[in-house]
């Protein structure tokens, strides 16, 4: 496949990042574009809103270990 | 790609740059580049059974699917960011086909180039400040001054509580000012985030400040050292520093319609 990147094992311990920190970034931030998407932006915003509620009602069982100063 | 697959976007990087070896994507698929006009989207072809317009909203509400997917998405984005300027895309940016991605790159080229410029040789750091919960005076606490009747004692106690809260508020405000002043000058940009997403391991403390900083690689060591110095400076306050992150919080772009 043209442009395919060489495969490798993960080089960063992404599984050690706290889930709260991670979801707050990948769902609330990052580039948002419109266009020929399969999912409307409103759908994601809804997920994010319900997630906010979930995150604020702290569910420790849902969150991964927090390595402290290690964002990946 | 076939009708069976949709195209999941991880990030945008400069085209023609040496690309680091990248782990597989959210569905185990190889990550590849879709290029247009000197920029490239890192994408994966994912089965519509995973990310079709009917399945995706349901999957996003499944905590296990969401966690697994968020971690794999981040793994790709952070690996890219480790090796080259990377503009992260929000989770679940999915196009029907590669053609849609190319159109997006064409339509959003200028803001994406600006964003690539912003994140080059820089990383994001998270700084959260937690205040330990203030103990409320109990009725058993002695009240300063001469022995007094129950009414006076009550009023004195009320006033003491009010004074204590006000003192605490001022103390936190002053600490926050000092923290921001010390870190602002070592960062390219800073942004205050909502006071949500508190670290669940910080039970007993409340999140009073949630900052994201974009830090240049050249001032990175100084920035980290400053957070360590600040961490021990304020009694009753705890600093929680995370990073380096891909610049998730510094790529808000206005996409042209």
Does A63 score more than 60 pLDDT? no
Q: Is there a contact between A62 and B63 if contact means CB atoms under 8 Å apart? A: yes
Percent pLDDT > 70 in chain B is 88
In A, minimum Cα distance to B35 occurs at A3
Which among A8, A9, A31 is the nearest to B90, CB-wise?
A31
Average pLDDT estimate for B26-44: 96
How far apart, in whole angstroms, are the C-alpha atoms of residue B120 and residue A38? Answer: 30
Q: Is there a contact between B66 and A23 if contact means CB atoms under 8 Å apart? A: yes
DSSP states of B148-208 as a string?
A: --HHHHHHHHHHHHHHHHHHHHHHHHHHHHHHHHHHHTTSSEEEE--S----GGGTTEEEE
Most confident of B56-65, B121-130, B202-211: B121-130
* Residues forming beta bridges with residue B46, ordered by sequence position: B6
Min mean pLDDT across A26-40, B71-85, B200-214 is at: A26-40
Burial category of B151 from C-beta neighbours within 10 Å (exposed 0-12, middle 13-18, buried 19 and up): exposed
In this prediction, residue B1 carries a pLDDT of 47
Residues 6+ apart with CB under 8 A from B181: none
**Residue of higher predicted confidence among B146 and B210:** B210
Average pLDDT estimate for B142-155: 74
Q: Which two tokens stand for residue A51?
A: 């997630």
CB pairs under 8 A between A and B: 207
Average pLDDT estimate for B239-255: 88
How far apart, in whole angstroms, are the C-alpha atoms of residue A17 and residue A13? Answer: 7
In this prediction, residue B122 carries a pLDDT of 96
Which among B90, B203, B224 is the nearest to A32, CB-wise?
B90
Chain B residues with beta carbon closer than 8 angstroms to that of A4: 30-33
Chain B residues with beta carbon closer than 8 angstroms to that of A61: none
Q: How confident is the model at residue A40 (pLDDT cuts 50, 70, 90)?
A: low
How far apart, in whole angstroms, are the C-alpha atoms of residue A47 and residue A44? Answer: 5
10 Å Cβ neighbour count for B36?
Answer: 17
In this prediction, residue B205 carries a pLDDT of 79
Does B113 score more than 50 pLDDT? yes
3-state helix, strand, coil in chain B (%, to 5): 40, 25, 30
Q: How far is B184 from chain A (nearest CA, A)?
A: 19
Q: How far is B172 from chain A (nearest CA, A)?
A: 22
Among B145, B162, B143, smallest CA distance to B154 is for B143
pTM to 2 decimal places: 0.82
In this prediction, residue B135 carries a pLDDT of 55
In this prediction, residue B42 carries a pLDDT of 97
Does B141 score more than 70 pLDDT? no
Q: Is there a contact between B249 and A6 if contact means CB atoms under 8 Å apart? A: no
End-to-end CA distance of chain B: 25
Which residue has tokens 């932006």?
A41
In this predicted model, what pLDDT tens digit does every residue of B185-240 receive, in sequence order? 999 999 888 776 666 665 557 888 999 999 999 999 999 999 999 998 998 899 99
Mutation for B interface: A2, A7, A14, most B CBs within 10 A:
A14
End-to-end CA distance of chain A: 29
In this prediction, residue B218 carries a pLDDT of 96
Q: Is there a contact between A17 and B87 if contact means CB atoms under 8 Å apart? A: no
Question: Do residues B94 and B6 make contact, with C-beta atoms less than 8 angstroms apart?
Answer: yes
**Residue of higher predicted confidence among B173 and A33:** B173
Mean confidence (pLDDT) of chain A: 59
Question: Do residues B190 and B213 make contact, with C-beta atoms less than 8 angstroms apart?
Answer: yes
Q: How confident is the model at residue A68 (pLDDT cuts 50, 70, 90)?
A: very low
Min mean pLDDT across B20-29, B80-89, B199-208, B240-249 is at: B199-208
Q: How far is B92 from chain A (nearest CA, A)?
A: 8
How far apart, in whole angstroms, are the C-alpha atoms of residue A64 and residue B16? Answer: 36
Average pLDDT estimate for B99-119: 94
Q: Which two tokens stand for residue B173?
A: 């405000």
10 Å Cβ neighbour count for B186?
Answer: 20
């Amino acid at each position: 496949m043209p442009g395919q990147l060489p495969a490798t094992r993960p080089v960063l311990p992404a599984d050690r990042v706290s889930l709260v920190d991670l979801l707050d970034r990948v769902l609330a931030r990052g580039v948002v574009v419109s266009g020929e998407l399969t999912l409307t932006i409103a759908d994601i915003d809804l997920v994010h809103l319900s997630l906010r509620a979930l995150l604020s009602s702290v569910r420790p069982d849902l969150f991964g270990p927090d390595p402290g100063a290690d964002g990946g | 790609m076939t009708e069976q697959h949709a195209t999941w976007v991880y990030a945008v990087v400069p085209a023609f740059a040496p690309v680091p070896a990248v782990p597989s994507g959210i569905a185990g698929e190889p990550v590849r580049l879709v290029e247009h006009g000197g920029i490239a989207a890192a994408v994966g072809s994912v089965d519509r059974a995973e990310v079709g317009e009917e399945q995706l909203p349901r999957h996003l509400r499944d905590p296990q699917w969401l966690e697994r997917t968020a971690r794999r998405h981040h793994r790709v984005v952070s690996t890219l960011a480790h090796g080259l300027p990377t503009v992260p895309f929000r989770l679940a940016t999915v196009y029907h086909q590669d053609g849609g991605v190319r159109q997006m790159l064409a339509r959003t080229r200028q803001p994406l180039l600006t964003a690539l410029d912003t994140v080059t040789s820089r990383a994001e750091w998270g700084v959260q400040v937690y205040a330990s919960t203030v103990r409320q005076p109990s009725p058993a606490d002695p009240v300063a001054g001469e022995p007094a009747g129950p009414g006076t004692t009550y009023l004195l106690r009320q006033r003491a509580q009010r004074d204590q809260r006000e003192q605490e508020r001022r103390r936190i405000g002053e600490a926050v000012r000092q923290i921001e002043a010390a870190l602002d000058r070592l960062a390219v940009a800073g942004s205050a985030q909502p006071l949500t997403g508190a670290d669940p391991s910080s039970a007993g403390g409340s999140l009073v400040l949630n900052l994201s900083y974009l830090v240049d690689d050249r001032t990175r060591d100084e920035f980290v050292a400053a957070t360590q110095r600040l961490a021990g400076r304020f009694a009753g306050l705890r600093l929680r520093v995370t990073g380096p992150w891909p610049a998730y919080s510094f790529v808000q772009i206005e996409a042209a319609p």
